[in-house]
Amino acid sequence: MKLTDYSLTDVGLKRDHNEDFFHVNQEAQVYLVCDGMGGYAAGEVASKMCAESISEQVEANQHIIEQFKEQPTVDSRELVRRMLIIAIQKSCKEVFDSGKSDPDKLGMGTTLVMALVIGNNAFIAHVGDSRAYLFRMDEVHQVTEDHSMVNELVQQGILTAEQAAKHPQANLITRAIGHQETVQPDVLHMELMEGDLFLLCSDGLCGYMKKAEFHRIAISSQTAEMAEKLIALANGKGGKDNITAVIIQAGERDSAVKSDDSAAKKVATLKKIPLFKNFDYKEIIKILEVIEVSKYAAGKNIITEGQGGEEMFVILSGEVSVKKGEVQLINLKSGNFFGEMSLIDKTPRSATISAAKDTKLMVLARTPLFKLLKKEPRLAMKLFWSFLQNMNKRLRRNDQELLKLKDSKQAVKKVVKEVPKTAPQKSSKERDEPSYGTDLSFLDD
């Protein structure tokens, strides 16, 4: 996919020098924004050192990138992710060691947000409070989460987003490159779509910019104008910090197509499922990292009654047939799902499901899901509550059905008891069927 980029940095209105640094390597398709901090001139040293170090290490590992490009499997994707983590940790140690060796630079550090694009895939990595936004199909999504004290308080429900923005320690970050010898970055893998647009920026921009303002600029501006307009927005609101914006455009702006297995279709389909309805966009993207898409030709079995399994299936396109024994129960179409209980237990499948026509399914398996949830406790908690709510609805529905059944039995008993005792009774021979008389115990079975 063809990429174009537009980058701009500005000192702002209050600072006398710029500690932000951006680095773009168009050939390797690596894009980085760093926001340095420290003593006099130390911040700009840290940000430049970090960006150049990571870019060099990515270039030195082109064999890993080529392997993923040729065979984009789960294993090759994890090699890319691991390569980025090691590159960021190595740059962290370099910045840390440089600060230790020079008293004037002691304690220097930097935030980082970066994108590595490989084919139709993007890897977004970040440390600190510099951010990445995605503008896709006329919607804006923040795809990184600040490593900051106030964001932790927001996630815990102690502060609202509005309170966090005005908090006196809003700029206090909990992770940075170079403050310690090592750091743990967040790395997110995403499928690209034609028309996707990414914004990588320092907090000198995102600290002023609301998503609605980015949306307004994105839909009303040429891509080449956006970085300049965004910096003008931040300066217009005070410009208290350095401001950097890197815009990355994938393909043509207005050519997004929502195909059966596009990233947008997958996200939209998952959001409609009760288990994931409370997940935000980046959390859905994380779930998609452990989902595979499988194709089933018409007539092929997907799951078989009585057999075990650990997968949940979501229908992207096509149609499936559900049978219990020899009884046809129902056909399910795009957007429906089945097998979700196999994510939490190993009970044999209760029905046979086969493709009624050529079908594409998203497949979520228990083992990779649990690996993700161990690393993402907030995701685990959200999914846990979704399962509880789903089970609660099922129990309530079952209770209602049992109550209706009980009421219907009682109604039958009442009608039978009200039959006059003098009413003529036909013999069982005349009816050619067994005679139950007034014994209604069979209704209680």
pLDDT score at 256:
63
CB 47 within 8 A of CB 110: yes
pLDDT at site 425: 54
- pLDDT tens-digit profile of 51-88? 999 999 999 999 999 999 999 998 999 999 999 999 99
Residue 213, domain CATH: 3.60.40.10
> Is residue 433 scored above 50 in pLDDT?
no
Radius of gyration of the chain (CA): 29
Q: Tell me: do 229 and 271 sit in the same domain.
A: no
Angle between helices 281-288 and 263-271 (to 10 degrees): 110
Are 10 and 243 a contacting pair, CB within 8 Å? Answer: yes
Read off the amino acid at residue 330. Answer: I
Q: Is 39 exposed, middle or buried, given 0-12, 13-18 or 19+ CB atoms closer than 10 A?
A: middle
If asked whether residues 235 and 278 sit together in one domain, one would say no
- What's residue 421's pLDDT? 57
Q: Are residue 229 and residue 322 in the same domain, yes or no?
A: no
Let me know if residue 445 belongs to a domain: no
> Residue 290 is encoded by which pair of tokens?
């452990």
Q: Report the distance separating Cα 109 and Cα 50, nearest Å.
A: 9
User: 273: Cβ–Cβ under 8 A, 6 or more apart, which residues?
Assistant: 314, 337
* Model pTM score: 0.85
Asked if pLDDT for residue 94 goes beyond 60, the answer is yes
Give tens-digit pLDDT for 271-307: 999 899 889 999 999 999 999 999 999 999 999 999 9
Alpha-carbon separation of residue 88 from 65, 119, 127 (angstroms): 16, 22, 9
| Six token digits for residue 196 | 């996707």
Residue at 408 is within a domain: no
Burial 348-376 (b: 16+ CB within 10 A, else e): ebebbbbbbeebbbbebbbeebeeebeeb
Domain contains 421 = no
Q: Please state the φ and ψ torsions of residue 334, each to the nearest 5 degrees.
A: -50, 135
State the average pLDDT over residues 304-315. 94
Average pLDDT on 126-140 reads 96
Residue 160 forms part of a structural domain: yes
Q: Which domain holds residue 76?
A: 3-250
Q: Indicate whether 419 belongs to any domain.
A: no
Do residues 243 and 279 both lie within one domain?
no
